[in-house]
A and B are shown apart, each in its own frame.
Chain A
Amino acid sequence: MDSRRVWTMLLPLALLLTMVACGGGERQGARATAGPGGAGAAATATAGAVQTGEKPVRGGTLFIGLAADISNLDPLRSNLFVDRLVQYNMYDSLVSINEKLEIQPALAESWDTSDPKAVVFRLRRGVKFHDGTEFNAEAVRWNIQRILDDKTSPRNSELASVAGVEVVDPYTVKLNLKEPFAPLFSLLVDRAGMIVSPAAVQRAGADYTRNPVGGGTGPFRFVEWKKDERIVLERNPDYWRKDKDGNPLPYLDRVVFRPIPNEETRLANLRTGEIDVSDGAPAKDVEAIKKNPDLIYRAIPAFARDGIWLNAAIEPFNNKALRQAVAYAINREEILKTIFFDIGVVATGPVAPPHLGFDPSFKGIQYDPAKAKEKLAEGGRPNGFSFKLGITAGSPQTQLYGELLKDQLAKVGIQVELVQQEFNKLVSDTQNGNFQASLIGWSGRIDPDGDMFAHFTCTGNFNYGKYCNPEADKALQEGRSTFDVEKRKAAYQRANRIIADDVPYIFIRNTVATQVSTAKVRNYLLMPDQIMRFHEVWKRSS
């Protein structure tokens, strides 16, 4: 046996594995993002579905091209963003949101927060799971308890504010809270609030997450999932939602999700009509898609952000004036146009455009080179200074982004040394406080608390730069501990101004949520969370 030859043959494989391993990093529901990403457009459209006055047609199959295969269909285990695109069409949650991100009834018809340390949900009656069993308070209790009991579930930390759950009567359930926690509702919109049939889970056991037959109450029932190939759902004839004329929903007979990881291929499939809806599109092709009468491209403001973490614990950014100098020296418009093909909006602070507490009249710190020089002088470095900026290696777009930042800052005398790092390394270095500045984005949450509390309170888990301002802490604490929407709004407006001015993070861009589909797809509800909801969609035959 010529074992040398075997090794020669194995070596390329080993190298390849290493390469792939280093370039890894899946898009996740909850994680920092690697700088540029995602398509969208100058946000002009409004949220919601386009109302055309056409009469919906029943039937048909909708094909959707996903950017990746899903990982888990059991909400208890799910950890990828793409999972949710399927789950929202299979399951209902206790509550949902509208286009303005206001909490709406879903499986819970109403709720009572008069006791700040408890939420009492009154549930919808007559809803059945796809396996025929009944949805009721006991099912909700079982689901919430399942999350509270499972320390290995990503949902466990989401419900950290819940002390326990009890059935009050067959259609009333009570969540006892450790302390008042308003963002709980936004978490119950998503996977922590999705209610799964206890009988279906008990029947399937450990296989449930891959074969969740009969598990939901949602508009479509699970049929099959062939890994990397397709996920098929079929119409739930007993769905509880009706359209505005009282007709049963959904209109479609089937939805078929096909994972097509290469975005060029996904667009080719959309152009040739092999798929009807695409999960995003290459940024460079957006203009062409907009001009194509057979395709639809819409975008609305979303909450993911791009920007730079500054380490407020060490030189030079323990000096607020120097942080502000950098913020004034960055031309966000130019970045948006040259790096992001004008897709997205210029960010003004931690509160994103769709969020509760967003103030369109507040512009935060914007490009002003004269102001930047003033701040340099105020910070005791009139001739500028230099710092290291960590960026993700391997993406030409991110490299251009870094070079542009470097040029912009050089104009006011600030020297940037770009340090390219593998994404996981960049994140772990930043988490450990081993950085001066890091270009790391954030995927965003429905509730502003999810984008601010852990990031900008003195002891927050994601406060990588050790920024600390008791005033910001107070505003953010207030925002989460009252259920009163007006009070929350005021708190986030206050926190937004304080944090934008303190610059623990340089807010550069907010993303947009997009619809990319053929013109056959009608009544598609576009929401800032970018989740695909097909319960009201119908498909024109030509």
Chain B
Amino acid sequence: MILFLAACTPPERLPADVLEGARTVAGAVDGDRLMADVRALVAEHETEEPVVLGGIWEDLPHRHDAAGAWLGATFEARGFAPVFHDVDRHGIASHTVIVDLPGASDEVVLLSAHHDVWFTAANDNSAGVAVLLEVARLLADRPLKRTVRLVSFDQEEPGLYGSRRYYEDHDWSRIVAALNVDTLAYTSATQDQPAGFDLPDEGDFVSVLGNGPGSELASTVAQVAAALDDPVPVVIAVAAGHTDWPATGGFDTSDHAAAWDRGIPGLFFSDTAFWRNPHYHTESDLPDTLDPVFFRRAAALVAATTWAAAEAP
């Protein structure tokens, strides 16, 4: 009974100044800059000779090195000090890019995306990497209560190698929130429905999925979305326990899974990917298929939530 009551303790209401700060951060998101970074990443992918991994991945062409190098150089050019987690195990090399925006405490809010792609993917996940760059710009000069760690994982597509290796090789005990962005810029007039869910018919919303420990974070997203001037529609779902089950398989299909496996509170932001986007994991996942207005509003939600998670009491 005590456990039940604890599980039902309502999340804290965010202070007004945190919500006001989130609204300010969201309002400063630059849609043109986001799309320019997506186009730059896609152009970098195009310069790289792909590797065909075979096996279950058949003939999908995988690229990662050029985008990773570009991202590191771009962070440096914009005044940040990226560090790299380079690992080569079992014949798979991964080069994860990490930038810390230091906060007053040693607690960490980790915001991640992945820069490796099938083909030259704009939405999956150059869009997510562009969000990292935009959040870096927006939060760089703001005093932060907690450290915001921006992480672009590598080798997500073949099997979440970069993120699993990151958590294996680093002390994650101070990570209080793991936010992950994977596909965030596509809209559709129709929306496919996962079993058991009653999603809106139009694919114009951001999906935010959380694990059980992320219930408080999920409430943060909801409160932030309500506070924004130009909010993107959002559907937020939180699953109790582990989520590696048929109906919730989509809950942990990206890099946040490595955090969720460790019980770290986490959220997964996406546009629902293959439930909406016919270009998913195809060569037609190109910048011109993206919805720049939706992307700006979705990125604003991510940026504002990151801020709120860093500033929440």
A binds B: no
Residues of chain A having any CB pair with chain B under 8 Å: none
Which positions in B face A, CB cutoff 8 Å? none
